[in-house]
Structure 1
Amino acid sequence: MSRIRELPKVELHVHIEGTLEPDLVVELAHDQGIELPYPDAEVLRERYVFADLSSFLDIYYANLDVLRRRHDFARLAYEYGARAHLAGVVHAEVFFDPQAHRSRGVPLHDVVGGLVDGFDDARAEFGVTTDLIACFLRDRPVAEASAVLDELVDMSAPIVGVGLDSAEIGNPAAPFAEVFARAAALGLRRVAHAGEESGPESVREAIEELAVHRVDHGIRSVDDPGVMAQLAAHRIPLTVCPLSNVRLRTVADLASHPLPHLIEAGVVVTINSDDPAYFGGHVDDNFLAVAEQFALTDDTLAQLARNSVTAIFLPQERRDTVLAQIDEWLAAGHPPPVE
């Protein structure tokens, strides 16, 4: 376990709201005098049994009620940075959902400002660097997403890209094409959830309609050889979250996960946590789980880590630094023979 944690990692698929641990929910509620529908953190944690994505989103959005002040978002970001450091994360591109807070009357200045505050503190203490990706909720109106993009631009929010998340079934990506095109014109990178609940056609839609740089999840791509070939040929990374897929029952169990098939097909696969407070595992836990389940070698684990580095939205100099750290990790596990 310690060696996998020591593997330098980049995390590309983590929702900051999904890092809100039950203990912090209770603490922030108590601090603000918010009455919760459960007596303590343990009872809340016991409710984290999900039948599907929708059942998860119900409790996920309910818990956000405790995030009201700039301080709350700062605390959330700092706690993620501290835990990410323990997982071996050196850089993370972190999702946040502006609409989920804006709709509750929380000013976006407080949301973004708080996240920046917390991540700045975590970087100073642990050395973990972060960038923000603002995700639009695909089950909300396109006009609302467009207004959020305008507001983020007007406030000069320090985001590197935009994404698309929330309930996939019944909420296609194509209607958001114009918003994503505007983001592209602004120099922002684009990612989108696809192929988690819906089939491979959702992945193709995200690639062709939104011109995404990465596909988040994308595991249903294995159901269509054409989509698999498209991903491999164009080197479009998938940000796969194995423990999330198990907990949301998009796969029956970890043994049934299509990760080995994606790797064998030459797809650029990366390993991530998604919503670790709800799914029982940060990125190191995900690496450990797939390493044990599929008997992955150090070479394969290092390649998965490298894939994340090639997919990040950072200058090449920073990428080269992390790649060198991964090479050092791999070499440490293969000491030269004693003569």
Structure 2
Amino acid sequence: MKNFISKLPKAELHLHIEGSFEPELMFALAQRNQIEIPYKTIEEVKEAYKFSCLQDFLNIYYAGASVLIHEDDFYELTMAYLTKCQEEAILHTEIMFDPQTHTQRGVDFATIINGIQRAREEAEQRWGISSLLIMSYLRHLSEEEAFETLQQSLPYKHLIKAVGLDSSENGNPPSKFYKVFEASAQEGYVLLAHAGEEGPADYVWEAIDGLKIARIDHGNNCLTDDALVDEIIKRDLALTVCPLSNLELKVVNDLKEHPLKMMIDKGIKATVNSDDPAYFGGYLNQNFTAIHEALDLSKDDLVHLAKNSILYSLAEENRKQELLELVHEYVLNN
């Protein structure tokens, strides 16, 4: 089944580009840009990639991002991830990026997005990989700061498909950002948000009713509220589930306890994603393989998850149909 997964055409809908920062590249850019990080060797960086909770992860995540300074840095980071996509049969990806992580350090918005865009264009030309950008607001910062990021994004609106909401969930409910999400929608952005990873089911309610999101990132804790599950199914809202991330951040203690199969059985449109793969021990195929083994998912389950990733992507309809046909052909021949 591992070989079947490796070539199965699929999309990835929940990927933080800063979270694909492999230790080797981080160390190389730190040296090139003469940025001091608290690690003397690549091995020390790898050792730091061990966490007990979301905040532990965020601390190293932001420290690592500090070495990203120039357009070429963002290009190299994004190209490294898109190369993985080419290797893993990811034919469409929706890349989240955190401009505030960089603009707060004095990096221009243009530097960030131009570097990412160069890589996107190259990957499409070389391998036919389609991609979209999701600009994430950091929820531990203020709504006023999110409004500043919204304004900075407007000259590049043609390059950005959606806005999202990430970072520390507990104590930072979606309701904190109602106004900036309303303003983002008026600018034409699709609305997404992390909800129900560490936060309660109430946060998911706030995200779908208050923020009016089109897709739920994570959403694990929706299962604690039957009425919420019913509402998610009624509204046909997909969840972008991240198994290895959930394991590493102790959202679940064992992948055998992961709720993904329960979500499928209840009729929730779940998808599998890698979240921050450099930090959480695996890119998309490793997430598929690990959750398949832990939950004894069938081949039909895996194909269903791959199809969900395409159907609930933000790609144009003709691209979705093209990708679904590739899945159909692959399954027929394998």
TM-score greater than 0.5 by the shorter chain: yes
Deviations 1:54-102 (A, max 9, x none): 0100010001111000000000110000011111100101000011000
Q: Distance in 2 between matches of 1:302 and 1:170?
A: 37
One-letter identity of the residue aligned with 1:253: D
Q: Distance in 1 between matches of 2:294 and 2:330?
A: 21
CA drift at 1:179 = 1.0
Q: Distance in 1 between matches of 2:3 and 2:71?
A: 35
- Structure 2 unmatched ranges of 5 or more: none
Instruction: Give the corresponding residue for 2:210.
Output: 209
Deviations 1:184-221 (A, max 9, x none): 12221111000000111111110000000000000111
One-letter identity of the residue aligned with 1:54: Q
Q: Distance in 2 between matches of 1:126 and 1:42?
A: 32
Q: Is the 8 A contact 2:100 2:138 kept in 1?
A: yes
CA drift at 1:286 = 0.6
CA drift at 1:155 = 4.1
Q: Distance in 1 between matches of 2:6 and 2:69?
A: 33
Instruction: Give the corresponding residue for 1:2.
Output: 3
Q: Counterparts in 2 of 1:143-222, with a 5 A limit?
A: 143-156=144-157, 158-222=159-223
Q: Counterparts in 2 of 1:247-286, with a 5 A limit?
A: 247-286=248-287
Greater mean alpha carbon deviation, residues 149-158 or residues 315-324 = 149-158
Q: Distance in 2 between matches of 1:155 and 1:313?
A: 18
Tell me the SS of whatever aligns to 1:34. Answer: coil
Tell me the SS of whatever aligns to 1:110. Answer: helix
Tell me the SS of whatever aligns to 2:91. Answer: strand
CA drift at 1:36 = 2.7
One-letter identity of the residue aligned with 2:60: I
Instruction: Give the corresponding residue for 2:241.
Output: 240
One-letter identity of the residue aligned with 1:105: G
One-letter identity of the residue aligned with 2:77: L
Instruction: Give the corresponding residue for 2:298.
Output: 297
| Equivalenced residues, count | 333
One-letter identity of the residue aligned with 2:192: V
Q: Distance in 2 between matches of 1:87 and 1:203?
A: 31
Deviations 1:36-55 (A, max 9, x none): 32121121111111110001
TM-score, normalization by structure 2 = 0.98
Q: Distance in 1 between matches of 2:331 and 2:157?
A: 40
Q: Is the 8 A contact 1:215 1:237 kept in 2?
A: yes
Q: Distance in 2 between matches of 1:3 and 1:265?
A: 26
Q: Distance in 1 between matches of 2:109 and 2:180?
A: 19
Q: Distance in 1 between matches of 2:261 and 2:300?
A: 14
Q: Counterparts in 2 of 1:1-339, with a 5 A limit?
A: 1-156=2-157, 158-333=159-334
Q: Is the 8 A contact 1:81 1:126 kept in 2?
A: no
CA drift at 1:294 = 1.5
One-letter identity of the residue aligned with 1:315: E
One-letter identity of the residue aligned with 1:120: E
One-letter identity of the residue aligned with 2:291: V
- State the identity %: 39
Greater mean alpha carbon deviation, residues 245-254 or residues 121-130 = 121-130
One-letter identity of the residue aligned with 2:201: P
Q: Distance in 2 between matches of 1:291 and 1:330?
A: 17
Deviations 1:258-277 (A, max 9, x none): 11111111000000000000
TM-score, normalization by structure 1 = 0.96
Q: Is the 8 A contact 1:133 1:160 kept in 2?
A: yes
Instruction: Give the corresponding residue for 1:337.
Output: none
Deviations 1:99-145 (A, max 9, x none): 10000000000000000012222222222221101000011010110
Q: Distance in 2 between matches of 1:225 and 1:192?
A: 21
One-letter identity of the residue aligned with 2:170: I
Q: Distance in 1 between matches of 2:253 and 2:12?
A: 25
Moved over 4 A (4+): none
One-letter identity of the residue aligned with 1:195: G
One-letter identity of the residue aligned with 1:124: Q
Tell me the SS of whatever aligns to 1:193. Answer: strand
Q: Is the 8 A contact 2:241 2:271 kept in 1?
A: yes
Q: Is the 8 A contact 2:197 2:221 kept in 1?
A: yes
RMSD of aligned residue pairs (Cα, Å): 1.0
Tell me the SS of whatever aligns to 1:66. Answer: coil
Q: Is the 8 A contact 2:255 2:295 kept in 1?
A: no
